A and B are shown apart, each in its own frame.
Chain A
Amino acid sequence: MAQTRYRSLKDLLGEEYVVPGTPLCSGCGALLTFRLFHKALGKKVVWVNAAGCITLMIVYPFSPLKSSWMYTAMGCAPAGAQGIRDALDILIEKGEVDPEEDLKVVVVTGDGAANDIGLQSASGAIHRRLDFYYLCYDNEAFGNTGFQFSPSTPYGSKTMTSLPTPLIPEGHKGRKKDLFEIWRAHNPPYLATVSPSHPMDMMRKIEKAERFKGPKLFISISPCPPGWGYDTMKTIRMARLAVETGVWPLKEAVHGEVRHTFIPRSLKPLEEYLKEQERFKHLFYPLRREDIIGRMQREVEEYWRKVYSTEVLEEKKD
């Protein structure tokens, strides 16, 4: 990371490719991630989308993008990207398209499409070494349909299909699918998690990914004010707390080799993150559920114990 376009926040103030006036929710974390991502990628982009909140950015006759957009269907955005990439490749090879007209092909989907209905299509595209970017904005539920649980919903979250009741005090009983590891098992050249609260980290990762041909995959935490239940002004705060409590590790994997890009000296208590969100309110009110909160905290600690014992100790040895 010796040479980077992004040395200070000032380097993030450049041209915008998403104009205002979208119909997305006020304070939308996904839109923020998308906007920053676009800044890093530049204008020569075609976005390929699967059904999700972001889909509604573009409803006829409006588009806030200065770049191209292709909505496919919920299950096949990576395949849609394949078609565009392959077509550009063969038409350039045949001399029918000027290489100057080439585009970066970028899939953008929510966590529902990425983890569930579109997982096969993504797996196929990554396996085929499709030269593309994939941005998964993870708001930890099917946000667009009104916040039902997805495979990305964390244990203990209330969603519209996992309401906490006396029978099921924790709300969502399932555990968050580890999309990072699922994707990493395909051995893509570049894979990273990002957070809109840490824009420098995000921009440098996208910049780094540009060096690689093949699948370049990103998962961004994307706080959702109506779904998570917090005031719109706290979107960045939520993302930052997720990183600082350790529940959203910032990391990258280059050719499968994992490295954490932000290692907190000490983790903030997870509670600080949970208690500000309606979706976890049942863990604190009317009764504090130490058992559930404790379990969630232990899982985070377990994760970081491994990180500290591998990466941090490795670094110390060096």
Chain B
Amino acid sequence: MMRSKLIAELRPRREVVSTITKSKMLTGNVTAAWAARLAEVDYIPAFPITPQTEIIEKLSEWIALGEFKAKLTIVDSEHSMLAAAGTASLTGARVFTATSSQGLLYGFEMLYNIAGWRAPIVLVNVSRAVAAPISLEPDHNDFLSTRDSGFILLQAETCQEVLDLILLAYRVSEDNRVLLPSLVNMDGFHTSFTREPVKIPEIEEVRRFLPKYTQQLPFRASKPSAKGVAVLRPPLYSFYKYQMHLSSINAINVFKEACEKFEECFARRYDVIEKYMLDDSKYAIVMMGSYASIGKKAVRILREEGVSVGLLKLRMIRPLPSKDIRKALEGKKAVAVIDQNISPGLGGILYSDISSILYNSDNKPKVILPVIGGVGGKTITLDEIRYVVELLEKYANGGEPEPILLLREDELREVESLLRIGVGE
């Protein structure tokens, strides 16, 4: 009985238009390139960085072959890349660009500017842990560092989601009620280099979903304007910044509306969050990104073993869809937030977000457990999630939870053997 209910939960809620779209084996990176192509972006400023490079390689190949009409300029840094992206958007071009990790941080100043200019570009970040020490594998410190910039933040789990979220991002960002840029995040390697079947829609279908971008007052000879100007009166600065906040909040409902239209066009349904076996569960774990796939698998197995656990996958990080998250987690006995990031001195970043959402609820979980896992691309196994759920069961009966780092004995042995070589006996 439980299984049939679960299947019902997974099934699209209403009958949808059937499409003839066939699927192809694509990496997350190539999928992102496809999304930019299907969105018919005008302009792509770029700068290479692992693991994002495949995206701009693909786009430049298509442009060179004449398959795709757009201007791609390789610039001198991510800072320049984002500057060019922002000003091109204000000139009326639909802009796409992509980066990773150090690149995102190098261009960081411009993220706040682009958002403040209200330039609705879409930026793809391919998550990679941030130096020092240098790493190539993913975690979410790069992505989450942008959370106060004013960008709409969306996190993809699968390659299909990469495509769909980029299309959704353009629609939401360019909506007048929002008019803020979007950052669509996918995890390096685990999504960016993983191939899986992706449905690539026809361009006409995409046009039906995504109207043309119109900038209200682009730079034109006949209509001069001054943009990016200084605002030195404190009340006016407060006004603009608060309007950015209100516009970002608008993005929750605009995204939901766009999801309805998306389902109508492409027969796939999204929401600001995704619930997996969550509605009837006693315990919940909160995850996002590619590792949520591992979490889902663990939840399914634990369910089969009779453990009442479900998973909440975060898709929209900014604006933070507080009501949806609160509704999904209210009434749970205990919740674990698995943060694939680390804020030294705090712990996990999402833990504080989730806790603050639930604090004012009358029906809040007894315990919210902070867990750090998957930092620097460290894998998470079924047994690690099993361990987290065991802790939830324990703390639900009392006790104050301690923050934990998921690290296994075999991994510690590996750490120790590397240290022996590096430090010497």
Contact = CB atoms under 8 A, between A and B. Distances in A.
**Direct A–B touching, Cβ under 8 Å:** yes
Interface of A: 43-44, 46, 48, 55-56, 58-60, 63, 65-73, 75-84, 86-91, 93-94, 96-97, 100-103, 120-121, 123-125, 127-128
Contact of B83 (A55, A79, A94): A79
Interface in B1-60: 42-43, 45
A84 B87 contact: yes
A83 B71 contact: no
B76 A70 contact: no
Given A48-B87, A101-B220, A121-B79, A86 B230 contact: no
B331 interface: no
Contact of B84 (A68, A80, A88, A91): A80
Interface stretch (B88-96, B184-192, B405-413): B88-96
B231 A60 contact: yes
Given A59-B232, A79-B76, A83-B85, A90 B221 contact: no
B134 interface: no
A87 B228 contact: no
Given A83-B83, A97-B220, A90 B42 contact: yes
B301 interface: no
Nearest to A66: B224
A68 B225 contact: yes
Contact of B45 (A59, A63, A82, A91): A82
A58 B69 CA distance: 36
A72 B113 contact: yes
Given A73-B79, A84-B88, 20 more contacts: A60-B230, A63-B229, A68-B219, A68-B224, A72-B228, A76-B79, A79-B45, A79-B83, A79-B84, A80-B83, A84-B90, A86-B71, A87-B42, A88-B91, A88-B219, A90-B71, A97-B92, A121-B83, A124-B75, A128-B73
B43 A73 contact: no
A80 B79 contact: no
A120 B77 CA distance: 9
Contact of A83 (B88, B220, B231): B88
Contacts of A76: 79-80, 83, 110
Given A63-B229, A71-B227, A94 B84 contact: no
B71 A102 contact: no
A301 to B, nearest CB: 38
Given A65-B226, A91-B93, A94-B69, A79 B220 contact: no
Contact of A89 (B71, B90, B219, B236): B71
Contacts of B233: 60
Contact of B43 (A83, A101, A128): A83
Nearest to B119: A83
Given A73-B110, A87-B43, A68 B93 contact: no
A86 B94 CA distance: 12
25 contacts: A58-B230, A65-B224, A66-B224, A68-B219, A68-B226, A69-B228, A70-B90, A73-B79, A73-B83, A79-B45, A82-B45, A82-B84, A82-B87, A86-B71, A86-B73, A87-B89, A88-B91, A89-B71, A90-B42, A94-B42, A97-B220, A101-B221, A102-B221, A127-B76, A128-B75
Contacts of B92: 87, 91, 96-97
B70 interface: yes
B226 A69 contact: yes
A97 B215 CA distance: 12
Contacts of A80: 83-84, 86-87
Interface string B123-151: 00000000000000000000000000000
Contacts of B180: none
B110 A90 contact: no
B80 A121 contact: yes
A170 to B, nearest CB: 35
Given A80-B86, A84-B88, A100 B221 contact: yes
Contact of B224 (A55, A67, A93): A67
B231 A103 contact: no
A181 B89 CA distance: 34
A63 B228 CA distance: 12
Contacts of B76: 79, 120-121, 123-125, 127
The 9 closest A-B pairs by CB, nearest first: A124-B76, A79-B80, A83-B84, A83-B87, A87-B91, A83-B88, A87-B88, A76-B83, A71-B228
B150 to A, nearest CB: 15
A194 to B, nearest CB: 25
Interface string B58-74: 00000000000111010
B109 interface: yes
Nearest to B233: A60
B203 to A, nearest CB: 15
Interface in B97-118: 109-110, 113
B389 interface: no
B417 interface: no
B397 interface: no
Contact of A82 (B75, B221, B224): B75
Contact of B88 (A66, A86, A125): A86
